[in-house]
Amino acid sequence: MSNQSGKKPLLLIIDDEVALTRSLQIALRDPGYEIAIAHTAEEGLASANALRPGVILLDLRLPDSDDLNPLERLLAMLPDSPVYMMSAHGDIKTAVDAVKRGAKDFVTKPFDIKALKTRLQGHLQVSESPGQGLVGNSPVMEKLRQELALIAKSPAKTVLLLGESGTGKTAAANEIHTLSALAGKPFVEVNCAALPEALLESELFGVEKGAFTGAHKSRSGLIEAANEGTLFLDEIGELSLAMQAKLLSFLESQRYRPVGSTDEKQANVRVIAATNRSLSDAVEEGNFRADLYYRLNVMPVKLPALSERADDIPLLLEHFSMSFSMTSDPVSFAPEVIETLTGYHWPGNIRELKNLVERLSVLYGGNEVTLAQLPDEYSEKLPENKVETLASQPAEPVGEITEHLANEEKRLILGALRESGGHKGNAAKRLNISRHALKRRLQKLGIQS
């Protein structure tokens, strides 16, 4: 996700032991990707910023910083690039801590090069680059694609992407950047939820030398790194009120002040913000500034939930099965599996679908997945509330049961539709059945939509 288009995926190794980085470089050499080396945390962060590596190997103990600080900054800068920690035997506790904070995994030195290689290769080969396009040809998707293209070409300085987690907000931000005139310029991604406020501020705006103990030299921030390009602020709803004020001021003037500096800097960036929360609710609750909300909301784009574009599911299944086939033969799906998955409600959206296909590829690569092999949660279930309601009813003569069930079903469905304001997708979710199942039932019960 974080590689710039056209480039080979990059592996960045950050370790102060020169001999070790050299032998890793030789051992991991591969025609499919490139390797970059850094020997200090500062150098590593600067390379990560400039090169946007697809995978990072990071030494747990670097001479110029606290153990987990470089990790946190890398995760904020490149939320989609997995970071593997390299640790010595005595450091297991800290390494486990690192994984809790978001590192992908850790390897203890000295490590099994072959195992490490296989692991990294998987990432580098399936790592995506922006501009490969969004998959889907449902009407909803076509409309979204047009919308993104128009926005990309427009002079809009701020764009707001809304949608549940896993619907493709990050992918859409990449798409906007790639389709825009800024395509050859930096695309810098920051996850606002990943860092505490103070770190986020210095990460975004940079730091002036001497601003606080430990700020031995000035450091430029991510806004500067994104200059002339796109800055993608993910999970903007998690920004503190103080940071919201600073961001608003930057959006209005394109000027900002590095931490501890008296001088303003200028940067020309398009800001794409994304959130899975309702910002208008956050405004009402007093957690989000109304003025920033209005500023961001000039150009909102709503990413549809996957269940709202179920027509695309067969295509997405095929797309991901092909993309995971680099490490194994592609899986295929029995027709009833495709049907079942098309009707599933996908609370985790495309991310969930992708993860499922990855899991099935590992288990059944080269074969056709049958309904029985599908994890239980993907087959249709009766809604629990319905089971309860029925269980509490007194027994009835058999002849009346069918009618009673039909009435009960109708009552539940109408209730769910009413509670979700007539929205079928949401009603289906409330009932814990698929949209297709809801449609079928509506027809059967003769309920007009």
Look at residue 365 and give its three-state secondary structure.
coil
Q: Which residue's beta carbon is nearest to the bound ligand ADP?
A: 168
In angstroms, what is the minimal distance from the CB of 91 to Mg ion?
A: 31
Nearer of residues 6 and 394 to ligand ADP, judged by Cβ: 6
Nearer of residues 56 and 317 to ligand ADP, judged by Cβ: 317
Q: Does 170 engage in binding with Mg ion (CB under 5 A)?
A: yes
Query: How far is residue 147's CA from residue 89's CA, in Å, rounded to a whole number?
Result: 52
Q: Does 351 engage in binding with ligand ADP (CB under 6 A)?
A: yes
Look at residue 394 and give its three-state secondary structure.
coil
Nearer of residues 21 and 230 to ligand ADP, judged by Cβ: 230
Burial class (CB in 10 A: 0-12, 13-18, 19+), 203: buried
Look at residue 204 and give its three-state secondary structure.
helix
In 3D, which of 270, 267, 190, 192 has the Cα closest to residue 230? 270
Nearer of residues 163 and 258 to Mg ion, judged by Cβ: 163
Stretch that binds ligand ADP, among 109-117, 169-177, 324-332, 429-437 (CB under 6 A): 169-177
Binding residue (CB under 6 A) for ligand ADP from 76, 171, 282, 417? 171
Specify whether the backbone of 378 is left (phi greater than 0), alpha (psi in -120 to 50) or beta. alpha
Query: How far is residue 292's CA from residue 295's CA, in Å, rounded to a whole number?
Result: 5
Query: How far is residue 8's CA from residue 125's CA, in Å, rounded to a whole number?
Result: 10
Nearer of residues 139 and 422 to ligand ADP, judged by Cβ: 139
Nearer of residues 171 and 279 to ligand ADP, judged by Cβ: 171
Q: Does 134 engage in binding with ligand ADP (CB under 6 A)?
A: yes
Cβ neighbours of residue 208 closer than 8 Å, sequence gap 6 or more: 215, 218, 258, 259, 260, 261
State the binding partner of 20 from Mg ion, ligand ADP, none, CB within 5 to 8 A by kind: none
Look at residue 44 and give its three-state secondary structure.
helix
In angstroms, what is the minimal distance from the CB of 374 to Mg ion?
A: 26
Give the H or E element holding residue 100: helix 92-100
In angstroms, what is the minimal distance from the CB of 189 to Mg ion?
A: 9
Q: Does 79 engage in binding with ligand ADP (CB under 6 A)?
A: no
Query: What x-and-dash track marks residues 271-300 binding Mg ion by CB under 5 A?
Result: ------------------------------
Residues 353-412 that bind ligand ADP (CB under 6 A): 354
Please state, as a whole number, how many other Cβ atoms lie within 10 Å of the Cβ of residue 373. Answer: 15
Question: What are the residues binding Mg ion (CB under 5 A)?
Answer: 170
Question: What are the residues binding ligand ADP (CB under 6 A)?
Answer: 128, 134-136, 163, 165-171, 350-351, 354
